[in-house]
A and B are shown apart, each in its own frame.
Chain A
């Protein structure tokens, strides 16, 4: 570990990096935010002043070293400053998911005992006020947007700008104290605490030190040759480790500019205006954009449409190879260059990827067609594999070795081993310190030598040395006949169809597999519109016979491809239902990062699973749902169960092996 400290050249905390950036790149933009229709900009020098004023204000308010400061809101420069300011005064920033309902917040705020909460607006403030009686340590709340807040009782409530004003006013008295606290920060001080969404049980507070964050940021920035001139768009939840690393870790390490959208709804417009050089998105953003492009091309003129499809077919043939630097014939190159002028260039501009150098997708598997589409346009989209406990990076794909079905090679300074059961373990400078107030979980996840179990099963591919992930280790089971049950593998294949938003496979310990399916309302709704199919609700569309028929054909296709893998051919879907509601985080069926909570879904829809196995053709069910404002209601539905074609013989073949 000694060589890392020298590697970071004494830059051992975020405030130290901020000071360096203000001195070295003082007049370069550090933050931009679109407000009132204009991109407002702060340079590094201005940012340093803003953060100092806020930090002084926090000292003035009584924030002590070791206190927890919760931060809730959409991506805004002020909230990023809050995280750095919290660290500067020796406190620990704890960003929370802004779409969490009040009870979820109550657990996290209570667990870390936050004395201070910084919120973006009235909506978040109301949630905290609603639960503040349960929070014994809560003392003060600071809010950013004063709109609607005037009538509130301000004994424990403060406006963000007032805290900064108080900080500036008390500058001379408090600056000594602030400097003293900043000087104490080193590689071992806590940088941030992030709550994992947790597919099972209560969220756990992952403590990340400055070493974790800065070392990971440094290694990953060098891996992708990130420079001070990058521009990123920060729109992913601030409570997610990825956003923390990109928008704070790497931004402070490299000194590049973080751009915040005007509102959630304007993200796509803002993306186009900024044209980021480095971009990160979960697969669903790329999927959504592709679907949009295809829908809009359907409405374009015949010539444009023809040109689009012609050059896209060419890009599909050679685009990926050109990007990876493989040999491509002269004529093909010329045609690709022409396509770039006529189609790819304008298309990339429209999508906001005109200037992109490196793009990443992670969190979920991305469909190979979607992945290849973006790469064929010349967008260097790559995959990485990581988790909060590793400060993101476990494996990444180096330039030129990018494929849709692997997650790349170990990231710099990361060691990986795979145990007998197939579970992936890693050890790296980014390995988290501990789970806050939870020594049992810490001990069961991280061993004495610092190896962390990921909970994912995977293997290194022979030849390329790339890691391939099969599934969550605990989800991989055995079927009644002893063959392997890997639900994620099949679900991902299903989800690659644009009509299918979500799929859940069951079959552990059973003789055959069945599935739940959620349709994608945008894609299927569009299809319904084109075919003059009227529908009043999600439920009605999901039950439409033609929808069921087209899903059935997808399932059949997937079964065919699953059957080709001798290890997994038992996982073919025999019967399925299209669910009457979308799986939703508000109902606890998914995590806030949209991962299915398998056990909860299994329990909740027990009646439907029974019907899938007992051969009935229909099932009636009542499901409780939670609305966005926390009220509850219920949905009644009668679902049709559909039988899918299974490739004959495949099951027996495995059973015989």
Chain B
């Protein structure tokens, strides 16, 4: 159950609720390499939570722990207050967690529409046989899911590429299609791994607007990893800063910006 005692209203009028997911003393090792060392933080309902840090800080590993792909050796992940057992990816998806990838992972040969439809997989209940015949229940089900998908296509303004094979799209649009597919799962928690990597200023502005709109319109909780500090500071409600697998800062963008450890990690400091 959510603890709503922490809930507050942001300056721009969104309500941030209680803790959805809590990381408690997470440590993740790959053999002798310690990727994440004793990190704790939480994600609250409705907020945009960013994880930042220099290269190799362990951000993506952290996101994989949140998504359940990695199981940490120590510490526990509480989802809605309950300890989460190790799960398979589809079980994670069923819990209402969806993600996008740092290196785009779409079905290149399929159209945008089909790619986004795959995000609805968990909502398709009819069996293989009736889907193949496409009659009765299967047909109704597809129509229903297509409606949801069309709303997302409209929302992300990708109507003009609906029938275009993904392989023919430029990078910025592929990123948007990936976001569309994640949204099609109607997630409660959306994980974005560097949604703006490799984009130009205009594409970044568009993507930022979409992220804010998703959060605002659907009330989706968003955890994101991003390198572009300007973007992170503008978008996020709270920021976790990592360096060498350790948490070195946590708080609002302003708090983090003025944190001496964070400044040192980003600007470099002599160790003597």
Contacts and interface: CB of A to CB of B under 8 A. Distances in A.
Contacts, number: 37
B217 A37 contact: no
Interface in A410-460: none
Contacts of B159: 37, 262-263, 265-266
Nearest to B212: A148
Interface stretch (B59-67, B147-155, B181-189): B147-155
B228 interface: no
B13 interface: yes
A35 B154 contact: yes
Interface in A193-243: none
A530 interface: no
Chain A contact patch, size range: 10 to 19
A150 interface: yes
A36 B150 contact: yes
Nearest to B150: A36
A147 B155 contact: yes
A553 interface: no
B151 A36 contact: yes
Contact of B160 (A36, A148, A150, A265): A265
Interface string B1-45: 000000000001110000000000000000000000000000000
Contacts of B147: 36
B227 interface: no
Nearest to B213: A148
Per DSSP, chain B at the interface is: helix
A269 interface: yes
B266 to A, nearest CB: 28
Contacts of A36: 147, 150-151, 153-154
Interface centre among A37, A147, A148 (most CB of B within 10 A): A37
Interface string A35-46: 111100000000
Given A262-B159, A263-B159, A147 B213 contact: yes
Interface string A147-168: 1101100000000000000000
Interface string B139-169: 0000000110011011101011010000000
Contacts of B160: 262-263, 265-266, 269
A262 B154 CA distance: 9
Interface in A257-280: 262-263, 265-266, 269
A263 B155 contact: no
Nearest to B151: A36
B213 A37 contact: no
A37 B163 CA distance: 11
B216 A263 contact: no
Contacts of A151: 12-14, 216
Given A262-B159, A265-B160, A150 B216 contact: yes
Per DSSP, chain A at the interface is: loop
A148 B14 CA distance: 12
Contacts of B157: 263
Interface residues of B, number: 19
A307 B209 CA distance: 49
Interface string A45-89: 000000000000000000000000000000000000000000000
A287 B153 CA distance: 30
A37 B146 contact: yes
B258 to A, nearest CB: 27
A537 B135 CA distance: 53
A269 B155 CA distance: 19
Contacts of A38: 150
Contacts of B153: 36-37
Nearest to A152: B13
Contacts of A35: 154
A295 to B, nearest CB: 15
Nearest to A263: B159
B50 to A, nearest CB: 20
A158 B13 CA distance: 18
A37 B160 CA distance: 10
A151 B213 CA distance: 11
Contact of B216 (A37, A148, A269): A148
A269 B163 CA distance: 10
Contacts of A148: 209, 212-213, 216-217
Interface centre among B146, B150, B154, B162 (most CB of A within 10 A): B154
B12 to A, nearest CB: 5
B69 to A, nearest CB: 33
A151 B151 CA distance: 21
A529 to B, nearest CB: 15
A147 B217 contact: yes
A395 to B, nearest CB: 37
A37 B155 CA distance: 12
B48 to A, nearest CB: 14
A35 B147 CA distance: 11
B267 to A, nearest CB: 29
A216 to B, nearest CB: 34
B170 to A, nearest CB: 13
A37 B212 CA distance: 24
Nearest to B152: A36
Contacts of A263: 157, 159-160
A288 to B, nearest CB: 15
Nearest to A35: B154
A36 to B, nearest CB: 4
6 contacts: A36-B151, A37-B150, A38-B150, A148-B212, A148-B217, A263-B157
5 nearest A-B pairs in the assembled complex, by CB-CB distance: A265-B160, A36-B150, A37-B150, A151-B13, A266-B160
Interface of B: 12-14, 146-147, 150-151, 153-155, 157, 159-160, 162, 209, 212-213, 216-217
Given A37-B162, A263-B157, 13 more contacts: A36-B150, A37-B146, A147-B155, A147-B213, A147-B217, A148-B213, A150-B13, A151-B12, A151-B14, A151-B216, A263-B160, A265-B160, A269-B160
